[in-house]
Structure 1
């Protein structure tokens, strides 16, 4: 009969059970939440609270001086027949479309230019980005001087070059004022969009573009079928920032042309400003602000839906 050898059983540490795993997971989630709390407090204090107060004011006839009176949705019904607001919205959409196209038409070539290693690369980046640090109010005042008929730069220069017969008021007609403001905004904002697009270009692996170049793919086709698809998220971010900022345009139109000539350059925010602080209808101005916020949210949601990646969503 063979001997039965019994080996000693070593008792090790027990593996953590599911309860311990869940406990550690909840603890890590709690730590992450504590890091987010300061940001949530700031958002709640400086965004959600003002939005809630604005929504409450929009339900009242709220004069600048005097006692507010609750009127329900009357301000919103009144807005439907406010042709001035819808004209301002139409001009704002026109301005947004034109200035967005102009900004990308300038920013994309600049991003491609400064992304490639070349002499004085950092100098070029600094020069193109420098106008971004200037505030819109300061930039508008600067361009008011540059566009001045008598003491400015552009009008006398155009006369000396023979481009115009005498000096022209570049802010005197709608077409010239609109083109001048578009030029100022592109000069001011294109550098910021350039930086965003440049980061997207730098994130594209070099071996992919090099392989396409070796295969004989032209630069235009590489940009169309390789660069743009890989920069979907970056372009989407730049578009959202550009469109949102353009829909909220106010400073340049207020300072440079004061909504003129003949109130043809009144933007949506400018109209809200007039209703709130010129006509002293704070309740109606609040209702217009809530509607404009809803329009911006809808535009952003549509853009995010368009630039989504179905393959990533399916994972």
Structure 2
């Protein structure tokens, strides 16, 4: 009898804990449903329609997708977005990894330095873009001033005049701003590594570089996969920095795919066509993420 009562109590407590867990998760779930799932479903539905600014929408089937794959502007924006991903991801990851290894040491004021390196992450991309646009100014910008003082250039560089100079400049700014986020992801994984492993490697005669190469990096693989996937997705969704710093120019040479989706939907009011671009971009990101996870998760 007592065992039956105890079993009933355990079931009751377990059910109560499940309901409490659901109550805590419910606000986040509702926010995701309202701001992510519902807009995604609506975008998928609108992608099959011609949605004029005035009047009723008209079902067009796959016409938006057929037109999309024949759109030169779409392919140009997509190529530039992939170029930006390839250029910005390596320095972003390597700097984040270097900072994580640096601030993982137990040194005086290390908490202060962690905060300093992470500080740019909490600044909005709009604010960073405006500040760095001023720094890159060809007349009174600090970048040209110091480069000329160091005799690295003979005359001021108009950084935002063309893609050949604007893309490296924006890459430098984004790396400075976002590397702290990669640092936090990798640092949390570093601090979860047991110290016994490092002590055993020292006994076996492994130096610092061999320890990083053969112990730290293999153990960090899940965190590295996460950091790279987040970096690639964030780079593919780049928008504010190019709108503010280059306005997509010159001649749309720095127009990202998200910038094109925004212009198509909210400047030219082609909501159905913009929704089709959004769905294609989502599928591309899912494919890229799956490839990254598959390749980087191999033993």
Task: Give me the TM-score of the superposition, normalised by structure 2.
Answer: 0.92
SS in 1 for 2:2: coil
1:124 pairs, out of 113, 118, 121, with 113
The question of 1:88 aligning with 2:77 is answered: yes
User: Equivalent residue for 2:125?
Assistant: 136
Q: Tell me the residue number matched to 2:244.
A: 255
Per-residue CA deviations over 1:99-151 (Å, capped at 9, x if unaligned) read 11011121111111111011221221122111111100110000110000111
Match of 2:49 in 1: 60
Contact 1:104 1:193 in 2 (8 A): yes
Residues of 1 paired with 2:24 and 2:160: CA distance?
A: 50
Q: How far apart in 1 are the matches of 2:89 and 2:287? A: 18
Distance in 1 (CA, whole Å) between partners of 2:157 and 2:294 is: 46
Task: Tell me how many residue pairs correspond in the alignment.
Answer: 299
Q: Is the 8 A contact 1:155 1:170 kept in 2?
A: no
2:274 counterpart (251, 274, 285): 285
2:157 corresponds in structure 1 to 168
> Match for residue 30 of structure 2?
41
Distance across 2 between alignment mates of 1:174 and 1:242? 21
- The runs of 5 or more residues in structure 1 that have no matched partner are 1-11, 311-315
Q: Which runs of no fewer than 5 residues in structure 2 stay unpaired?
A: none
Larger Rg: 1
Is the contact between residue 249 and residue 269 of structure 1 (CA under 8 Å) also seen in structure 2? yes
Partner of 2:181: 192
32-41 or 152-161: bigger deviation: 32-41
In the TM superposition, 1:213-292 aligns within 5 A as 213-292=202-281
- CA-atom RMSD in angstroms: 2.3
- How many angstroms does 1:196 deviate by? 1.3
Distance across 2 between alignment mates of 1:34 and 1:167: 59
| Deviation of the 1:304 alpha carbon | 3.5
Q: What is the rounded CA distance, in whole Å, between the counterparts of 1:182 and 1:225 in structure 2?
A: 30
The offset of 1:308, in angstroms, is: 4.6
Instruction: Please show how residues 20-39 of structure 1 align to structure 2 within 5 Å.
Output: 29-39=18-28
Alignment match of 2:191 (pick from 182, 185, 202): 202
Rounded Cα–Cα distance in structure 1 between residues aligned with 2:27 and 2:163:
47
Structure 1 residue 71 and structure 2 residue 64: aligned?
no
Q: 1:19 to 1:218 in 2, by over 3 A?
A: same
Cα distance, 1:156 vs structure 2: 2.3
Distance 2:298 2:267 in 1: 46
Are residues 1:212 and 2:201 paired? Answer: yes
| 1:296 matched residue in structure 2 | 285
Separation of aligned partners in 2, 1:264 and 1:167:
22
Question: Which region of structure 1 is more displaced relative to structure 2, 56-65 or 203-212?
Answer: 56-65
In 1, Cα distance between the equivalents of 2:16 and 2:118?
44
| Aligned partners of 2:225 and 2:297 also within 8 Å | no
**Do 1:54 and 1:286's aligned partners in 2 also have CA atoms closer than 8 Å?**
yes
